[in-house]
Structure 1
């Protein structure tokens, strides 16, 4: 579930020497050049009202006069597979340690009342299962636990909170995904503001919000995906218009969205698997629909893993200053800056700042390609006609 956010954060703090070594070994892709005018154009597009009915598809956890809190993150529908694999590995480790403990317990009973009975086989089994259990546990803690924490033993959801009183946006993420961040509302851009900013016409992806580096204060952009996966661009537009109107105009006149509980109910684990697929089901053939019926047990397995993942995580909790932000007499949270990170992370972010930097000014207009082919002159045309064989001339001309 947090795999995309983890990869994004790694891209921000990737050591410069390792990245340069990788680019030398592989074909380097050309980096797209961004200009300040591009960011300004996206920000201005995000401020414009959209002639569409605002509607939030959720999940929404809190909404009142000054706060709107939603789920964010991408690939929520894929959650569950890592949990199943992780629980299988944990079960195997626990089984080995249990069998080793049982074998050594039997050996202890034999030693307390030894009467010459053989114990070599029991000793071998105890040492074997102990070695397997401890060895597997070491490998799992060193290499596997980081992937397990994408779905288990972490915050139940990634959250985004919009506070219209402070005009700030707060992101709740684990530390290995960038941590909790405070951002200004006025610097946000959205994939729902204009179709040219939507990826793949918005099909199968949640609404995308982006803060350029000039508004984050951390030398890198902030990218989040909000809500459910969409079936079309219109759903992204409706979601964005709901958020924009809440922050800019207030909740008056907006349809009240259904509130989702943080409690891990079973249906919260099975419904995300079908987010963004309504358009596919409607247009699929009968044969495809029959095939979906046959593979439905796979959806059941993934949904069960998703539910186990929800139960083995805990409800995310905001810091006190963010919980009280916007209340009378309470301080406004400071925007996140580079100094909020550890010194080692600050150094990495400074090294990689050039990757996200924008060029000043406006993007130069693309020049029209002029044809390099010279037009034929009258002399060249007459010469070409002289080169035509006599046989191809008109038939009414006698051969002379």
Structure 2
């Protein structure tokens, strides 16, 4: 499910009218929080010093060699399958029944003159209106949601090319498309050990800020599996950092995963980030999980169907050959690579990512009032 990436891209390309409606719903505190970013914050998040002594890739890793490493992206992979179940189990049958019924009544009106009547023709007209309304609503609002899981790329991918020192993101166009960034513009959410407690249920986040890329919008990628706390995300960032800075010999070779629609991946994704929590939970919680196991089976089946109904993503030729002897270096993504309409939308929302100059001021501690 590419819901997070789709939402971020929609926000970056939001129309003026939609943005006004969205901002009108924000409270004063939310508006201040959206503008509370400093240049010093970005400098602290973008550095390439050692952050862990245990570099480790938690996967899924699809390729690992002397030239590049390729990993899975996606901010809500564990929820994949819900839209597939709703579409295949609800929307498609409703569309099929109403459409077939409409053609059935229409065929009777045309071929059976004896059964033809005003009532039957009115019923046929009503069925045509209902089926037409359902198709219209689904084509306008439902297809974009269905394509977050079905009839699209099987996975979002990120490729780190250490020869060209570039990072490539592979996403559908409705999530931002395929982009290329210099490695040194990459920021990570797994830098500060003080944030380790926040990594439970989170993925490693990589950020490319406009002040580093020259684009008018910010890009983000959420890598691999959900964290279970501790320093897992820092270990994964250190694995990527050492690979790009020092080479594949500086990190342990990861176990490679398949890009085929594996049922193991579909069912195991639901339990990402729950291992440590499950081991430390009470016996009552474990008993409750035994009663809800049918839900895990249903969602896992929907996840697998989603993978089966998608195709394997394919990189452009220039990225596939990047790093090979005599092959060109892929150009870095610029604003001109987007259609003119998208360029205008991106520029209109560029103020969302502006930074305040300097460093964040230190909060003053309040002194206790000396009351008797």
Distance across 2 between alignment mates of 1:354 and 1:106: 60
Q: Deviations over 1:36-88 (max 9, x none)?
A: 222122222xx112342221111111111111111111110001111111122
Using the alignment, how far apart are the partners of 1:190 and 1:300 within structure 2?
Answer: 34
> Residue deviations 1:84-116, cap 9 Å, x none?
1112201211122223334444555545xxxxx
Task: Compute the TM-score of the two structures, normalised by the length of structure 1.
Answer: 0.85
What is residue 81 of structure 2 aligned with on the other side? 80
Matching residue within 28, 32, 44 for 1:41: 44
Whether 1:298 and 2:295 are equivalent positions in the alignment is yes
Aligned residues: 367
Unmatched 5+ residue regions in structure 2?
Answer: none
Spell out structure 1 runs of 4+ moving beyond 6 A. 370-374
**Which residue of structure 2 lines up, in the alignment, with residue 276 of structure 1?**
273
Partner of 1:94: 96
Cα 1:322–1:286 change in 2 (3 A) is: same
State the match for 2:339 in structure 1: 342
Question: 2:142 pairs with 137, 144, 152, which one?
Answer: 144
- Equivalence for 2:72: 71
Give the Cα–Cα distance (whole angstroms) in 2 for the partners of residues 279 and 157 of structure 1.
26
Secondary structure of 2:46's aligned partner: helix
Rounded Cα–Cα distance in structure 1 between residues aligned with 2:276 and 2:96: 44
CA distance in 1, matches of 2:133, 2:209: 46
Tell me how far 1:33 sits from its aligned partner.
Answer: 2.8
What TM-score results when the alignment is normalised by the length of structure 2? 0.91
Where do 1:1-400 residues align within 5 Å? Answer: 1-16=1-16, 18-24=18-24, 26-28=26-28, 29=30, 30-31=32-33, 32-44=35-47, 47-87=48-88, 88-106=90-108, 109-110=111-112, 117-120=114-117, 126-196=124-194, 201-367=198-364
Specify the SS of the correspondent of 1:252: helix
Distance 2:305 2:231 in 1: 33
In 2, Cα distance between equivalents of 1:58 and 1:270: 15
Is the CA contact 1:172–1:180 (under 8 Å) kept in the aligned structure 2?
yes
Do 2:154 and 2:307's aligned partners in 1 also have CA atoms closer than 8 Å?
A: yes
Q: Do the aligned partners of 1:79 and 1:305 also contact (CA within 8 Å) in 2?
A: yes
Partners of 1:136 and 1:16 in 2: CA distance: 29
Q: How big is the shift at 1:22?
A: 4.1
